[in-house]
Structure 1
Amino acid sequence: MDERTRADVERAEAALVEHYPHLVRLAHLVLPPSMGRHRKVLTAHGLVQRALPWRAARRAAGALPAQRGPDTAAGYDLVRQRTLELALAYEDRRRPAVLLPTVPFVWGLRLFPRAGGADELALDQALSAVPAAVRAALGLWQLEGLEPEAARAVLARAGVADPDAALRAAGQLDRRTGAGAAALLAAGEFDPCTVHVRPTDLLRRRQRARAAAALAAVLAAGAVVAALPGGQPAARPAPTAAQQALDPGRLLRTPNEEWVRTSRVDFTAWPPRGRQAGDRRLLGRALRVWAAPPPGTRIVAAAGTSTRPPAEPPRLLYAGLIDNVMVVVFHDGERLVRYAEPEGATPTLHFARTDNADLATAGALVIGRGNGWQRYLIAPWVAGVAVRDLLAPDAPPHGLHLAPDGVTDRIPLPPAGGGPCGHWPATELRTSARLESHPAVLVTDLGDLAPVHLAYAAAPAGPAAPGEANGAPALHSWARTACTLRSLRGTGVRSVSNWVYARQPLPEGGGTAEWVCNRAETWRGPGRAMVQFEPPAAGPADPGRIAGRATGTAVCGPYGRGVLGGVRWQAESGTWYLLAAGGGRVDGIDVTGGVRAGADAPTLAVPAARDAPAEVTGRLPDGGTVRALQP
């Protein structure tokens, strides 16, 4: 240890107390994101509290004590350096093992910083994709305000192998952040001193307490029986269903080529794949974490998906290394469960509901995801994979390499948030010729384990049996609709279909407009419908205009009676018109209110002031009516 006087230690203690929030924020930034929010908050506080020097060096006989003063700058440099060294050690495997901080310790509660907006989320994702040294360089620059030379010296003393490279990477990351890293790092999402508090899983905690009490009672009874003269231990009871579900040897394993011999072509027909499919220790860990997640485990569940433990042995789909993360995927008949185990970090569990999957919706699953990319594990009946941009419908798809275990190369993620929507990657899955003729399936990622199936239908086929979105009309329709998919991210969507339910000649020779009903079906049942008016456009990807939408509705689905939409449209002459179009069983339209008109046809165009109130109603053959969806 460096020679330090008692005054040095006292100055360090004063600096730690005075600047504690700054030090904890710096430690929280540098620690690995894979630790999980709760563990990361507690570890950041523990590291700063351990950053104080253990003791002062003994003063030589006859030496005068060091002069005390109000300046704590030297003390702050000391505790900041020590904090940085401890935080960096959590990611550097070449360093000695890091002891977990013994304080603070929280029982029965989960702590996590406040949630931020889209910019904070984007920065958090970018930080998770760079090494700890880059995060440390960014913190010294943006949080501590150090000049490059000073930051380089601090990084070098902390053991960073290439401080210059870390500073350059931090600068690049800052430039990619539109809102500025300095402002975002000062937000609540990166402040481990201002946290929300929530309880842990109370039911699981109660079950663990009961299980521990029951185990103690069994052990005590066994000890008493063994101590009795001639006492013999009782026969071991048969394992319960819950215990059997955690036995790697009981995992269901579908035989290869089963998908050729069965009429149920879904996740139950997937054989186990991956190099670690026979690793009982890895499979056992994954099952135990699923049954009783340890503290700090990150749990992600799609909307409407249960995270309950397995009730019986699940089916193994994959076990192997994906981008330095050990991944195991199970299927229990209703859910996909992905266990991700980063080296030396807290695992993650991801749940997604997939009951009633079919050939299209069970064609792939997300096996890995990073900053701006993902990989699919594709179904055994998929013979080829290609990627296309939905916003470039006339561009050919690009073939994608497929590993022998069914894992694809990295695929770009669609844009998230409210930023620009300049591209939308979708993946084409070409089915094997060994199945009865089936066209290629188009899927895209919306944040869940199972990608979303994209479909297309045109009048008069109707929405009852939409086809695959792989022809020119379908691709051109999706080019004008793709960017609306961003609103569905993370909502547990199973499939989305575009139904061109009407084509309407526009007044004054304005060309022909299409009316499209875009319907999203969720795995849990309820759907969302959105009517889009698409007049002639200058480019194939020009977005349409949303005319109406509804949630929790059967509209545009196989059980919907009809759909109706209305918009105001201005001709080149400057005249405004009220346009309306119905689909399905709509065979007439009536307009009341400030505008009165009617048509014995599924489309209507009538001159109307731009702001004139109007109520549009569609007539059905049986005398019923439907109202136009509202924006």
Structure 2
Amino acid sequence: AWPARGDLAGDRALTRDALATWAALRGAGRLQHGAVQLLYAGHLDGRTVAVLRDGDRVARFSGPGRPLEVAATGTDPSAPVALGGGRYLLAPWDSGAAVPGGDAVRVRDGVTEPLAPPTHCGRGPVLDLTGPDGGRTIGDLGGARPVVLGYHSDADHSEAAGHRSASSHSAPGRLTGAGLRLWDRLGCVLPQPTRPVDRADAADFWSGSVPHGGGAADWVCTRFDFAGGGSAGQAALVGRTADSSLSAGAGGCDERRPVSGLWWRAGTGHWYYLAAAGHGLAPEADGPLRHVDVTGRLLVAVPHGEPKARPDTPIDLTAHTA
């Protein structure tokens, strides 16, 4: 359990007000006061803030008459808690915090200084933390709680996928180099998770150059491990430049056998169907396509009909052993 921290942790009136507000919001009998834990109470950026946890939910209280903010965050005791304004409440056993790949972050009473991912969308890696199990990188993906971010390179994807079930709960380590650069771009392409996520592991299963002026890009399958159990894969094509027209979500994926495709509009106004598959596989598309070319696990095709009209016919995409 976390100790209550903050300069108002001993203010019983503030805690009572926060509990009463949450109980009124959830309805009589739905809040077990004995199980509710005060995580933080103090002054932040000119506000009085109290943070409470009840099971898998966290509530942020800013005083009587103000709306109570409640979010489902899961039950991972090591997950930081977002306090608003770019500040995070860290687990008491985290011994160090830094900007990913950069300088140390000031922490007082467990609360970080204001932080923000260095991306145009405000999503991406935000903190390197050091805890009992080593280092990890925390990201803001737009959901209710920060997420542990992981990365597998194109070169080691096939080995990582083969051992995924055994390694899924191992410490991910801090993002560095290619992994950090990829997540700086990927955070703005992935859709915001609709459920609390414990961990997101990105595997760039194809890297190369897209013809017809597309430029360099990575095709990524990101596995979301949800708080409370379950997982899902989300594919994305991510251009190497911030303004790349290639960057887009590309539906679901299976990191053990990744294949993904999407329609892309080139600078000429012509539409192309692009698809890629993981190591040892080749993409195969069935639909209204012509001039289909597969080179280096990348499929490129043009639609039947007017090349400048966006096709709306579904494409059946599969992968076979190369």
Structure 1 residues 614 and 597: alpha-carbon distance in aligned structure 2, compared to 1, 3 A threshold: farther
Task: Give the secondary-structure state (helix, strand or coil) at the position aligned to 1:589.
Answer: strand
Distance 1:603 1:614 in 2: 19
Deviation at 1:492, TM superposition (A): 4.3
Task: Give the secondary-structure state (helix, strand or coil) at the position aligned to 1:410.
Answer: coil
Task: Give the secondary-structure state (helix, strand or coil) at the position aligned to 2:68.
Answer: strand
Deviation at 1:431, TM superposition (A): 0.9
Task: Give the secondary-structure state (helix, strand or coil) at the position aligned to 2:19.
Answer: helix
Structure 1 residues 304-343: aligned runs within 5 Å: 308-310=30-32, 312-341=34-63
CA contact (8 A) 1:529 1:549 kept: no
Letter aligned with residue 564 of structure 1: S
Task: Give the secondary-structure state (helix, strand or coil) at the position aligned to 2:14.
Answer: helix
Structure 1 residues 585 and 334: alpha-carbon distance in aligned structure 2, compared to 1, 3 A threshold: farther
Q: Which runs of 5+ in 1 are unaligned?
A: 1-268, 294-298, 300-306, 389-395, 416-420, 622-631
Tell me what 2:140 maps to.
Answer: 444
Structure 1 residues 505 and 591: alpha-carbon distance in aligned structure 2, compared to 1, 3 A threshold: farther
Does residue 270 (structure 1) correspond to residue 7 (structure 2)? The answer is no
Structure 1 residues 283 and 614: alpha-carbon distance in aligned structure 2, compared to 1, 3 A threshold: closer
Does residue 385 (structure 1) correspond to residue 97 (structure 2)? The answer is yes
Distance 1:366 1:597 in 2: 47
Deviation at 1:331, TM superposition (A): 2.2
Distance 1:429 1:318 in 2: 22
CA contact (8 A) 1:328 1:338 kept: yes
Letter aligned with residue 271 of structure 1: P
Deviation at 1:386, TM superposition (A): 2.6
Distance 2:202 2:39 in 1: 32
Deviation at 1:619, TM superposition (A): 3.2
Scaled by the length of structure 2, the TM-score of the pair is 0.72
Deviation at 1:453, TM superposition (A): 3.2
Distance 2:106 2:12 in 1: 30
Moved more, 377-386 or 317-326: 317-326
Structure 1 residues 353 and 508: alpha-carbon distance in aligned structure 2, compared to 1, 3 A threshold: closer
In the alignment, which of 412, 417, 429 is matched to residue 128 of structure 2? 429
Per-residue CA deviations over 1:38-71 (Å, capped at 9, x if unaligned) read xxxxxxxxxxxxxxxxxxxxxxxxxxxxxxxxxx
Tell me what 2:317 maps to.
Answer: 617
In the alignment, which of 454, 478, 501 is matched to residue 205 of structure 2? 501
CA contact (8 A) 2:206 2:220 kept: yes
Structure 1 residues 590 and 445: alpha-carbon distance in aligned structure 2, compared to 1, 3 A threshold: closer
Distance 2:227 2:280 in 1: 27
Tell me what 1:280 maps to.
Answer: 12
Q: Which runs of 5+ in 2 are unaligned?
A: none
Deviation at 1:382, TM superposition (A): 1.9
Distance 1:548 1:561 in 2: 18
CA contact (8 A) 1:337 1:349 kept: yes
CA contact (8 A) 2:2 2:91 kept: yes
Distance 1:332 1:614 in 2: 45
Deviation at 1:581, TM superposition (A): 0.7
Deviation at 1:424, TM superposition (A): 5.4
Distance 1:423 1:314 in 2: 31
Deviation at 1:588, TM superposition (A): 4.8
- Identify the structure with the greater strand proportion: 2
Structure 1 residues 53-202: aligned runs within 5 Å: none
Structure 1 residues 25-36: aligned runs within 5 Å: none
Distance 2:150 2:203 in 1: 9
Structure 1 residues 525 and 499: alpha-carbon distance in aligned structure 2, compared to 1, 3 A threshold: same
Letter aligned with residue 319 of structure 2: R
Task: Give the secondary-structure state (helix, strand or coil) at the position aligned to 2:74.
Answer: coil
CA contact (8 A) 1:590 1:598 kept: no
Tell me what 2:87 maps to.
Answer: 375
CA contact (8 A) 1:481 1:544 kept: no
Deviation at 1:500, TM superposition (A): 0.7
Tell me what 2:181 maps to.
Answer: 476
Structure 1 residues 618 and 358: alpha-carbon distance in aligned structure 2, compared to 1, 3 A threshold: farther
Deviation at 1:565, TM superposition (A): 1.4
Give the share of equivalent positions with the same residue, in percent: 28
Letter aligned with residue 477 of structure 1: L
Structure 1 residues 474 and 543: alpha-carbon distance in aligned structure 2, compared to 1, 3 A threshold: farther
Does residue 400 (structure 1) correspond to residue 101 (structure 2)? The answer is no
Structure 1 residues 578 and 522: alpha-carbon distance in aligned structure 2, compared to 1, 3 A threshold: same
Task: Give the secondary-structure state (helix, strand or coil) at the position aligned to 1:399.
Answer: coil
Deviation at 1:586, TM superposition (A): 4.8
Task: Give the secondary-structure state (helix, strand or coil) at the position aligned to 2:315.
Answer: strand
Tell me what 1:454 maps to.
Answer: 149
Structure 1 residues 313 and 586: alpha-carbon distance in aligned structure 2, compared to 1, 3 A threshold: same
Tell me what 2:246 maps to.
Answer: 545
Tell me what 1:579 maps to.
Answer: 274
CA contact (8 A) 2:285 2:316 kept: yes
Distance 1:616 1:596 in 2: 16
Structure 1 residues 586 and 492: alpha-carbon distance in aligned structure 2, compared to 1, 3 A threshold: same
Does residue 365 (structure 1) correspond to residue 78 (structure 2)? The answer is no
RMSD: 4.2
Deviation at 1:353, TM superposition (A): 1.9
Structure 1 residues 323 and 447: alpha-carbon distance in aligned structure 2, compared to 1, 3 A threshold: farther
Task: Give the secondary-structure state (helix, strand or coil) at the position aligned to 1:604.
Answer: strand
CA contact (8 A) 1:374 1:413 kept: no
Q: How many residues align?
A: 303
Letter aligned with residue 42 of structure 2: G
Per-residue CA deviations over 1:70-111 (Å, capped at 9, x if unaligned) read xxxxxxxxxxxxxxxxxxxxxxxxxxxxxxxxxxxxxxxxxx
Per-residue CA deviations over 1:117-164 (Å, capped at 9, x if unaligned) read xxxxxxxxxxxxxxxxxxxxxxxxxxxxxxxxxxxxxxxxxxxxxxxx
Tell me what 2:218 maps to.
Answer: 514
CA contact (8 A) 2:259 2:283 kept: no
Deviation at 1:479, TM superposition (A): 2.8
Structure 1 residues 366 and 569: alpha-carbon distance in aligned structure 2, compared to 1, 3 A threshold: closer
Per-residue CA deviations over 1:197-216 (Å, capped at 9, x if unaligned) read xxxxxxxxxxxxxxxxxxxx
CA contact (8 A) 2:266 2:272 kept: yes
Distance 1:407 1:532 in 2: 33
Structure 1 residues 598 and 616: alpha-carbon distance in aligned structure 2, compared to 1, 3 A threshold: farther
Distance 2:230 2:292 in 1: 34
Deviation at 1:475, TM superposition (A): 1.8
Task: Give the secondary-structure state (helix, strand or coil) at the position aligned to 1:440.
Answer: strand
In the alignment, which of 241, 249, 260 is matched to residue 564 of structure 1? 260
In the alignment, which of 233, 236, 249 is matched to residue 532 of structure 1? 236
Deviation at 1:365, TM superposition (A): 0.9
Scaled by the length of structure 1, the TM-score of the pair is 0.40
Structure 1 residues 594 and 327: alpha-carbon distance in aligned structure 2, compared to 1, 3 A threshold: closer
